[in-house]
Amino acid sequence: MQNVRLLLEPRGPVVGMQPEPINPLAQLPAEPADKPEEACGVFAVLATDQAVANLTYFGLYALQHRGQESAGIAVFDAENQVRLHKDMGLVSQVFDQEVLQRMPGELAIGHNRYSTTGTSKVCNAQPVVLNTRLGPLALAHNGNLVNAAELRQAIAAANPDTEFTSTTDSELIAFALQNAVDQGLDWADALREAAGRCRGAFSLVIGTPEGLFALRDGHGIRPLVFGYLGESDQSQWVVSSETCGLDIIGARYIDDVQPGELVHFRLGDATPIRSQWCQEPVKLCVFEMIYFARPDSRFFGESLYSYRVRIGEALARENPIEADIVIGVPDSGIPAAIGYSQWSGIPFGDGLIKNRYVGRTFIQPTQAMREAGIRVKLNPLPDVLGGKRVVVIDDSIVRGTTSRKLVHALRDAGATEVHMRISSPPVTHPCFYGIDTDTQDQLIAARMTLEEIERHLGVDSLAYLSKAGMVEAAHSASSNFCTACFDGNYPIELDDSVRSSKLMLEPAGLAVSNRA
């Protein structure tokens, strides 16, 4: 095997090193999230005469909404040495200009991660970097495998000396790729071989000595796009989870990496090499449209802001109510609230102010603050809401805890009536493809009837957008979306062991998310 140096930055342990001790503060109990949480964002740049680490930093900054727990960048220099820096925290906390200046090169792979359950560990941060007979690889993954336990067993059986240093399925994909390369395949064939061993959702960016690869699972559950910097003949390529990552660095969008497609970008090539490695029915996660992706990101040729306004209009058509003001829960509920207002004729207002600097924290509030709850992130305006019949628009309800506190806060602010409208159907099933929803017994819509949820939340009325209204507003065939969290129709078959546990890779007694 070729011996390739891996240059480590001062912070951020990497594969092959002992993981840092677990932060005891990370084990303090925190109130569970009341929204589905995205797993991660990926970004990559292949360019000459560019500060690729800096460009990747800004790409990850634009994708920060997709993951706030850890961030990492791996950079290949001209001699195929890889400098890797990754750590816990936001992109702006993990990187500074001094660190980025120590990472010169022509190819960078970046990753943001979000893990919403259990202990946080630096060894689970990405990119994953491994050596192969053809040189190093750096891999970043958005999604979740449903056959991770099976794949891990197969990798361990084929090579008993394999040292697993994380509990992520992303590392398993990297090991599968390493094994395929070491068995004699070239990079492209090895990627097809490794991808064929994976079941689930995976949008990947992979750095190699032969350039940059981007690959998407056959269903295209998670998004992945690419474009170029400057003039097209400069061959400066960028791959991102969303178009907003291209926009921030001035890259021009070319196309989506299509479901089941492998794209190979090489320095000096004005056109990437595109090939189809598998073909499955397209099943883009509809929650990317409703909630996860940034409203300025483009899907199906338009910004998601436009789609979210339309689902608000559909919500108003399906569920009218007499009221004085429409407000949205910031930020994702605002476009739908504008659409609801436009269709219904009820004035739109800013009734809730969001603290935009609230992030993930291990500092627990006092019990009194917990009871006030919603005001940590959202504060209602009494002079806007006082004496009003209020329609409040939100994108989803998972547990109902935050929604209940929100309703209480609106009544405290003087709202005489509170009518809640949700711009998606009831969430009744957990996701296994890269979104951290709860187990089914914790999903309020799976446990309660509509009337019971109304009473639990304390609203005067509650209504959800229909599944038909949700998909019709996308101006795309309904069969092109994964809607499993609303109807339980999972496009990829799930074993009972997967359904029963989201922590299958963890040692006994250690609760850590296995999500990418």
Residue where a domain terminates, one of 283, 315, 344 = 283
Do both 324 and 407 map to the same domain? yes
Do both 308 and 252 map to the same domain? no
Report the Cα 371 to chain-centroid distance in Å: 29
Report the Cα 369 to chain-centroid distance in Å: 29
What are residue 454's phi and psi, to 5 degrees? Answer: -55, -50
Instruction: Give the CATH number of the domain where residue 327 resides.
Output: 3.40.50.2020
Do both 118 and 235 map to the same domain? yes
Q: Among 69-73, 266-270, 416-420, where is mean pLDDT lowest?
A: 266-270
Number of domains in the chain: 2
List the domain range (segments joined by +) for residue 367: 304-475
What tens digit of pLDDT does each residue of 182-209 get? Answer: 999 999 999 999 999 999 999 999 999 9
Active-site pick, 40, 198, 285, 482: 40
- If you average pLDDT over residues 248-254, what whole number do you get? 96
Q: Is 379 helix (H, G, I), strand (E, B) or coil?
A: strand
Position 18 scores a pLDDT of: 32
- If you average pLDDT over residues 260-279, what whole number do you get? 95
514 inside domain: no
Do both 310 and 384 map to the same domain? yes
- If you average pLDDT over residues 310-338, what whole number do you get? 97
Q: Which residue has tokens 């890889």?
A: 82
Confidence of residue 359 (pLDDT cuts 50, 70, 90): low
28 inside domain: no
Whether 40 is catalytic: yes
Instruction: Give the CATH number of the domain where residue 166 resides.
Output: 3.60.20.10
Indicate if the pLDDT at residue 57 is higher than 50: yes
For residues 348 and 361, the model is more confident at: 348
Position 245 scores a pLDDT of: 98
DSSP string, 116-162: -SB---GGG-S-EEEEETTEEEEEEEEEEESSHHHHHHHHHHH-TT-
Do both 350 and 228 map to the same domain? no
Considering the entire predicted model, what is its pTM?
Answer: 0.89
- If you average pLDDT over residues 20-47, what whole number do you get? 60
d(CA 388, CA 416): 6
65 inside domain: yes
